Structure 1
Amino acid sequence: MLDIILDEFHFSTLWNGGIFLFTMFAAIIYFFLLPASKKHSWWKSFAFLLGLIVIFIAIASPLNVTGRIKFSTHSLQLVLLLLVAPPLLIVGFKTAILERMKSIGSMKKVMIVLTKPIVATVLFQIVFYSYHIPFMFNFARLDLYLNYFFLLALFLSSVLLWIPILSPDQLSRGQKWKYTFVNVILLTPFSVILFFANTGLYAIYSDINLFMSALALCLPDLTDVPPEFFASLLPFDPVHEQWLGAIIFFAGKLISFVVVTFLSAKSI
């Protein structure tokens, strides 16, 4: 059913050319302009490139349009954008440029504060839960720029969240696991609420008028699109989608935190 629906969308709607250019630009800067230390290995460069690809898939591929139709796909986007891409980018980032940034006193002080475990945790949790308050989520999805602002804020705060785990000298092995445990617990209510809700929490996925307005942001021209087409995009039970989204996010959260923390703690 979904394949048939996506066939109705134009190529430029399914694939975001602007974000593609941005990721290409980021890759060019990384490989050709940023200085690399002698310790920078090829697998770190591969990890960084893979992180950029994951970001592109999450917010610039057909997955993004599907995420406006199915909440479970939105949960998958969250996993990719917040739990998979940031660790890859952090691991692969060239540390030589970071050393130069630390020479700037004000920049160093800001980064020290923002990457403190308690600050990074509180900042991420506030942004994450604020975005997913039903009325805020519905409102953000009706404005293209506001939605991308939230996604950018989520991504940046998730990078800060992962730095204490992946930093080799910020936390001890035991502290890394405690930090991971706290964040897993704090993110669990999101999945629990979705799993046990007996009604659709987000009207953007069930109200035909809101749904049309949100999806219109992905379509270049609506003059030839009949309302019946939009109605055909709502065959998915919102309660079931929330239940499935809860499982996807919970599993993705648990796997990513445990795997990344295990590998980071093992390297100490």
Structure 2
Amino acid sequence: MLEIILDEFHPSTMWNGGIFIYISFVLIIYFLLLPPSKNHSLKKSIVFILGLLAIFASLGSPINVIARIMYSSHIIQLVLLFFVAPPLLIYGFKYEIIERWKKNETFAYMLKIVTNPWVALVTFYVLFYSYHIPAVFNSVRLDLFANYFAMIVLFIAAILLFHPLLLNTSLSDKTKWTYALLNILLIVPYSVVLIVADSGIYALYTDVRLFMSSIMVCLPDADLMTPEFFRALMPFDPVMEQLRGGILLLIAQVVIFTTVGFLGRKRK
């Protein structure tokens, strides 16, 4: 059913050329402009590229459009952008430029504050839960620029969230495992809400008028389409989609933070 629906969309709608250009620009900076870091291996460069591919899959591929039709795909989008891409980018980044900037006391002080584990943890989950308040979510998703701004802010917060696990050498293994466990526990309330809800939480997936407005953000010629077309895009049970999304989010959180916690432990 979904394949038939997506056939109605133009390739330029399904694939975001703007995101591709931005990612290409980042790759140019990464390989040609950033000074090489000590012990920077080919493996790290490949991991960094995988992180960029995760961003493109989230924001530039058909997942971005499908996420406005199926809530479970919205969760896939968030997992890729906030929980898969950040640790990959952190692991593969060239840190020589950061080390140079650290010589500036103001920059070093600000970096120490924003990468504090408690600050990073609280900041991300306050933003994450705020974004998913139904009234906020329904409003932000109807404005292309507001939605991308929210995604960028949350993505930066996600980068800071993974910093203590992968880069903070002053934390003990026990502290890092506690931090990873807290990340898993903090996503549980939202996952539980999605799993046990017996009705659609977000009107964007249940109200035809709001659904139309949400899809129109992605379609350059949406004004030429009839309401019947948009109704045909809503064959998915919102309760089942929320259930799938909640389970997926919880499993992804457990797998990702367990894996990153293992990789971030101190080598003996």
Question: What TM-score do the two structures reach when normalised by structure 1?
Answer: 0.98
Task: Calculate percent identity across the aligned residue pairs.
Answer: 51
* 1:135-176 superposed Cα distances (whole Å, 9 cap, x missing partner): 100001111111111111111000000000001513111110
Q: In the alignment, what sits opposite 1:8?
A: 8
Whole-angstrom CA distance in 2 between matches of 1:239 and 1:180: 29
Runs of 5+ in structure 2 lacking a partner? none
CA offset at residue 98 of structure 1?
1.2
CA offset at residue 181 of structure 1?
1.0
CA offset at residue 84 of structure 1?
0.5
Q: In the alignment, what sits opposite 1:221?
A: 221
Whole-angstrom CA distance in 1 between matches of 2:152 and 2:38: 32
Give the alignment of 1:200-211 within 5 angstroms: 200-211=200-211
Whole-angstrom CA distance in 1 between matches of 2:142 and 2:223: 19
Give the alignment of 1:138-153 within 5 angstroms: 138-153=138-153
Give the alignment of 1:28-107 within 5 angstroms: 28-107=28-107
* 1:208-267 superposed Cα distances (whole Å, 9 cap, x missing partner): 000000100100112421111100000000000000000111111110000111111153
The answer to whether 1:255 aligns with 2:255 is yes
Do the aligned partners of 2:38 and 2:96 also contact (CA within 8 Å) in 1? no
Runs of 5+ in structure 1 lacking a partner? none
Whole-angstrom CA distance in 2 between matches of 1:114 and 1:222: 41
* 1:170-226 superposed Cα distances (whole Å, 9 cap, x missing partner): 311111001111121111101000000011000000100000001001001124211
Whole-angstrom CA distance in 1 between matches of 2:112 and 2:76: 31
Q: In the alignment, what sits opposite 1:167?
A: 167
Question: What TM-score do the two structures reach when normalised by structure 2?
Answer: 0.98
Whole-angstrom CA distance in 1 between matches of 2:239 and 2:91: 37
Whole-angstrom CA distance in 2 between matches of 1:223 and 1:260: 45
* 1:31-80 superposed Cα distances (whole Å, 9 cap, x missing partner): 11100123100000111111001000011100000000000000011111
Quick check: 163-172 or 124-133, which moved more?
163-172
Matched residue count = 268
Whole-angstrom CA distance in 1 between matches of 2:143 and 2:11: 22
The letter for the 1-side match of 2:175 is: Q
Whole-angstrom CA distance in 2 between matches of 1:154 and 1:95: 22
Q: In the alignment, what sits opposite 2:111?
A: 111
CA RMSD of aligned residues (A): 1.0
Whole-angstrom CA distance in 1 between matches of 2:19 and 2:108: 29
Q: In the alignment, what sits opposite 2:121?
A: 121
Do the aligned partners of 1:164 and 1:170 also contact (CA within 8 Å) in 2? no
Whole-angstrom CA distance in 2 between matches of 1:169 and 1:187: 25
Do the aligned partners of 2:121 and 2:161 also contact (CA within 8 Å) in 1? yes
The answer to whether 1:185 aligns with 2:188 is no
CA offset at residue 10 of structure 1?
0.7
Whole-angstrom CA distance in 1 between matches of 2:94 and 2:223: 48
Whole-angstrom CA distance in 2 between matches of 1:223 and 1:117: 47
Whole-angstrom CA distance in 2 between matches of 1:160 and 1:220: 35
Do the aligned partners of 1:141 and 1:214 also contact (CA within 8 Å) in 2? yes
CA offset at residue 81 of structure 1?
0.6
Do the aligned partners of 1:57 and 1:63 also contact (CA within 8 Å) in 2? yes
Runs of 4+ with deviation above 3 angstroms: none
Do the aligned partners of 2:216 and 2:223 also contact (CA within 8 Å) in 1? no
The letter for the 1-side match of 2:30 is: Y
